[in-house]
Copies of this chain bind each other. A is one copy, B any other.
């Protein structure tokens, strides 16, 4: 299997956990999602992000950033803000955002 979790980085770094349940409104969502991915990757201090989505259920996206400046750049991005507004207007039934500082991280990759 080629998919891998984003690795553990050297603490401290920031993580933003966005958990959401979608409405049935789909218009423009996947295009906007792809655009957000390409935008966030350009931010200095962006470390990575990943998503898991239970069909018909919860979606969890986690973004990792080296420092507050990197996260603030992403928070203040105008296209990102427009996408957030569209999300509240149409795409999300509910969501929660938790932002914090990672103090400890570890990982495992099976050897074959």
Contact = CB atoms under 8 A, between A and B. Distances in A.
Interface of A: 1, 3-8, 11, 14-15, 17, 19-21, 23, 50-60, 62, 64, 88, 92-110
A28 B100 CA distance: 33
B94 A109 contact: yes
Chain A facing B: main interface SS: strand
From A21, A64, A96, A103, residue with most partner B Cβ within 10 Å:
A96
Contacts of A102: 98-100
A50 B96 CA distance: 12
A58 B62 contact: no
Nearest to A8: B96
